[in-house]
Every structure is written in structure tokens, then in C-alpha cells.
Structure 1
Amino acid sequence: MPLKALHLCLFLLLSCSVSVIHAKPLQVGITTVPPFAMQNEQGEWQGISIDLWRAVAREQQLDFEWVPLSFTELLSQVESGQIDVAVGALTMTADREAVFDFSHPFYQTGLAIAVPPSPKHGIMHSLKALFSWEFLSVIAALTLLLFVVGTLLWFCERRANPDQFGGKAREGIGASFWWAAVTMTTVGYGDKAPVTLAGRMVALVWMFAGLIMVASFTAAITTSLTVSNLQYQIQGPQDLPGNRVATITGTASAQYLQDNRIIRREYANLSDAMHSVLDGETDAVVYDRPLLQFRNQQLAEQRLTLVPGVFDQQLYALAMPAGSKLRAAISEEILRITESQEWSAIQASYLQESK
């Protein structure tokens, strides 16, 4: 009896120990990556990845508790096994796969480019440019030059050519002003022409100067009306070399820019990177498209322009310590969820564009 009683006690103790082990909540590491993981005004965690994990935990009957971490801490603690699952927007890469396990991917996207806001175009925009200070100052300078040339010609021709440049000073200078204008524009009606040597010398100089003036005036008008179309020529990743590109430190996008020898400025978070474009510190920002898309919605009137399309494909997955026994069950559940209507609803609730 004493021996049987001892065995019974050991069995009960072992059972209790196993129960305690299984009862311990899973440590689920999370980091703020809108719209995949973020906190609302009440401090509750929500997002695409958060909702996905809650669905997995519900179906697998897993008890867990959140462990908020920085991005760097999240990677190091899942590698060391301090947390059981890392939830967020972790990109699957060969380097990361070598140190911890990934679940089946639940989101496929790619890198995208955001550039400064595109200026508005149209008739009103063109009319506004015509009445800008820069344009009006060019017109004023040209008018003054025509007046000076016209006055000089009138001074040379007023006595020798009274039929064309004579009369009162007001009339003579007006006729000379008209001649200077039609000569500069190479219209040359032929209704007025200088006859004196001095007048013809003025005319000869003005003819050649007029060619330069017309070219300069045309360039000024073109610049005033179309400069906004020429400001942002980044239409895809092939246009990034030679530009200053913002991104986030320690991410796949930073690695892409480094591998392609693109000048980059790394920032601590996406908001700082996007504001660097708005402030003119950088020419574009490169990052995962859904993250750019969501953050851009929050900029309201200061929204950047997202270049269409994605490149350098990215796959998001949950991460677990190497050899985790949870991997198979979690991956199976992720497959089931991502094939359901529930998954489409989760994405639609956070992103305007459907996948």
C-alpha cells in the first residue's frame, strides 16, 4: 500500500505539473505596424495580423497574452525563444528563416514608391499660372524693353522719316513701339521701316536680339505652365537611382535599396520617412505597399502620390522559434482562414484597396 500510494502521489504530481505547463498562456510578441498591428484609442490591439491571430487562437483554443516589443526586440526574442509567436508584418526572408520558423504566409504584397503630391492640372491651373507673379514680371520686363528700343528708334527716325515715326512724341514712340514688337516676333508687317543709317543699325541689332528674346519668352511661358509636370519623374524602381530615397532602418526595403546601390536615408518609422518627402528632404519613400497605403490615408490633404504597381515581392507570415511544435497547427489554421470570406472581410476593414 505505501508503494502504491507513493506511485499515486507521483502520478498526481506529474499530472498537475503537465497541466500547469499547458495552462501557461502563450507569449505573443507584437510591434506597432499599421494596419497589421496597432492600438486604438482605448489601448486595445487591432489590425489585420491581430485579427488573424485571434481567429487562429480561437479555433485552436490557445490561451495567450500580448507582449508589446520594438521591431528589433521582436526579432531577437523570437529567435531566443522568449516569445512563442511573433505577430505583425514580418517579411519572410532567407536570413530570417535560418534563425527561426515561419508559418504559412498570410499576405502577399511588394514594395511600393510614394512621391510628393501631384499638382492639380486643368484650365484653372493654367490660368492661375498665367497670372502668377513670375509670369507677370516677365511681361513687365519685356514691355519695358520694347519701350526702350522703340524710343531709341523714334529718336533716330523722327526727322528723317516723319511719315512713319513723326507727329507728336506720343504718336511717334507708339509707332516705334509697334515696330519693335512686330520685329521681335518676326511677324514683320512691313508697314514701318527705318530709313536712316542709325535707325537701320538699331533695327539690325534688335532683329538678332529679338530672336533671343522670343526664345527666352517662350521658355518662360513654358516653364510657368508646365514645370509641375516635370518635377516628379519617378514612375517605377528603374527611376530611383540618382534620387534620394527614404526608407525604414532594418527592413526589407532598406536591404533592397542597399543591394541596388540607391542613395537612401533611413528613418526610425514610416511617418518620419513620409514627412521627409513632404518637406523636400528626400525625393521618394520606398516601403511595403499596404503600410504606405494605410499611413498615406492618415495624411489627409498632404497625401503623397503612390506610384502604381509593386516590385520585389514580399510575403508576410507569423514567426516562431526554430523547431516550434506550434508551427504545423498554426500554418494549417492560417490556410483555412485565408481561404475563407472572413479573411476578405478582415482586409477590407483596414484597407481601401481589396486584395
Structure 2
Amino acid sequence: MILLFIIFLFGVLGWIFERKMNPEVFRPSSKGLWDGIWWSAVTLTTVGYGDKAPVAKLGKATALILMFGGLLFISGLAASIASSLTVKQLTGNPDGFNEFKDRTLGTVDKSGTEDFLLEHFFKDVKTYSNVSLGLEELDKGEIEAFLYDDQF
């Protein structure tokens, strides 16, 4: 629903800003509203057919906000879905998640992953100042798995 709202909002804004300066692309009639929504959906999804492009300053500013905001929103949505599927898979398989509780695990010091592991009673957690050091220890066989979820 949020995605549809964003497409609709920026489509209307794009149409409002472009209909007078760019009437051949963003028609001034109610059909032009569909032009704006189409442009917004194509821009947000980074398809970019090139059939519609803003020329007005406010239209270009709207497009920039839509492109960068859309990039962040879509990537956040994809990350959220992937994370949910991973957690569901790990917790849905009793052996998949719990089998690591008695193993030697590595993670980055003072990270959300370290907090998670300690809160969920993982017994042998070694921490490292960065991912590279942890992966080196994994290669050497000093730890059995390395877990880390980088959040920005």
C-alpha cells in the first residue's frame, strides 16, 4: 500500500509540475494524470523507458526525490523481505537455528548480531573488530560459523 501511495503521490506531483511546460508528454487533461502515474511507476522501479521525462525545474526536483527515495525504499523493502524469509527459515527448522547454539560462532564486536546471539543463549561467541578478521578465523577453523547483519 505504501508503494502504491508513493507512486500515486509522485505521479500527481509530476503531472502538476509538468502539464503546462511539457503538455505533449504530460497531457493537461485528466488523461495526463495517468501519464504522471505511469511516469512515477516507471521511474520508481528504475525501468526508465524514456517515454516520459520532466523538463520543468520542479518536475526534475520531484524526479530526483522519487529516484533516490525510491531506491532507498525498494532496497529497504527487499532487505526486509529477505531478512524475514531467513529468520522464518532458521526458526521454522528446529535443527537449522538451534544447531548453532553449541558451536563456536564469530561475529563483529558490539554489533546487533552479538546482542542477538547473547540474548538467545548462544554459548560460545567470539567477537572480532571487523568482518575480515572473523572470516579469516573461519577459514583457519577457529570458529565454526560467522554471523553478521550489517545495518546502516
Scaled to the shorter chain, the TM-score interval is 0.5 to 0.7
1:188 to 36, 41, 48: 48
Q: Report the CA distance between 1:197 and its aligned residue.
A: 1.1
Query: 1:44 — aligned with what?
Result: none
Given residue 145 of structure 1, which amino acid in structure 2 is its aligned partner? I
Query: 2:5 — aligned with what?
Result: 144
After superposition, the Cα gap between the structure-2 partners of 1:186 and 1:234, relative to the gap in structure 1 and judged at 3 Å, is same
- Output the aligned Cα RMSD: 2.7
Given residue 143 of structure 1, which amino acid in structure 2 is its aligned partner? L
After superposition, the Cα gap between the structure-2 partners of 1:174 and 1:224, relative to the gap in structure 1 and judged at 3 Å, is farther
* Structure 1 contact 233–239 (Cα < 8 Å) conserved: no
Kindly provide the CA deviation profile for residues 74-117 of structure 1, in whole angstroms up to 9, marking residues without a partner as x: xxxxxxxxxxxxxxxxxxxxxxxxxxxxxxxxxxxxxxxxxxxx
Query: 1:36 — aligned with what?
Result: none
Query: 1:199 — aligned with what?
Result: 59
Give distance in 2, aligned partners of 1:213 and 1:221: 12
Kindly provide the CA deviation profile for residues 22-80 of structure 1, in whole angstroms up to 9, marking residues without a partner as x: xxxxxxxxxxxxxxxxxxxxxxxxxxxxxxxxxxxxxxxxxxxxxxxxxxxxxxxxxxx
After superposition, the Cα gap between the structure-2 partners of 1:217 and 1:173, relative to the gap in structure 1 and judged at 3 Å, is farther
Given residue 22 of structure 2, which amino acid in structure 1 is its aligned partner? N
After superposition, the Cα gap between the structure-2 partners of 1:235 and 1:183, relative to the gap in structure 1 and judged at 3 Å, is same
After superposition, the Cα gap between the structure-2 partners of 1:218 and 1:175, relative to the gap in structure 1 and judged at 3 Å, is same
State the SS of the aligned residue for 1:244: coil
Query: 2:99 — aligned with what?
Result: 235
Given residue 201 of structure 1, which amino acid in structure 2 is its aligned partner? A
Say which structure is richer in strand: 1
Kindly provide the CA deviation profile for residues 221-271 of structure 1, in whole angstroms up to 9, marking residues without a partner as x: 3244443124362215216983338xxxxxxxxxxxxxx789xxxxxxxxx
Q: Report the CA distance between 1:217 and its aligned residue.
A: 2.0
Query: 1:159 — aligned with what?
Result: 20
Given residue 121 of structure 2, which amino acid in structure 1 is its aligned partner? R
- Structure 1 unaligned blocks of 5 or more: 1-139, 246-259, 263-355
Residue 173, structure 1, aligned to residue 42, structure 2:
no
After superposition, the Cα gap between the structure-2 partners of 1:239 and 1:228, relative to the gap in structure 1 and judged at 3 Å, is farther
Give distance in 2, aligned partners of 1:154 and 1:179: 9
Give distance in 2, aligned partners of 1:141 and 1:192: 23
Q: Report the CA distance between 1:218 and its aligned residue.
A: 1.1
1:209 to 53, 57, 69: 69
TM-score normalised by L of structure 1 = 0.28
Query: 2:144 — aligned with what?
Result: none
Q: Report the CA distance between 1:167 and its aligned residue.
A: 4.2
Residue 244, structure 1, aligned to residue 105, structure 2:
no
Given residue 164 of structure 1, which amino acid in structure 2 is its aligned partner? V
Give distance in 1, aligned partners of 2:87 and 2:49: 34
Given residue 26 of structure 2, which amino acid in structure 1 is its aligned partner? F
After superposition, the Cα gap between the structure-2 partners of 1:153 and 1:261, relative to the gap in structure 1 and judged at 3 Å, is closer
After superposition, the Cα gap between the structure-2 partners of 1:261 and 1:230, relative to the gap in structure 1 and judged at 3 Å, is closer
TM-score normalised by L of structure 2 = 0.60
* Structure 2 contact 17–56 (Cα < 8 Å) conserved: yes
Alignment coverage as a number of residue pairs: 108
Given residue 40 of structure 2, which amino acid in structure 1 is its aligned partner? A
Say which structure is richer in helix: 2
Given residue 205 of structure 1, which amino acid in structure 2 is its aligned partner? I
After superposition, the Cα gap between the structure-2 partners of 1:179 and 1:222, relative to the gap in structure 1 and judged at 3 Å, is same
Q: Report the CA distance between 1:214 and its aligned residue.
A: 1.6
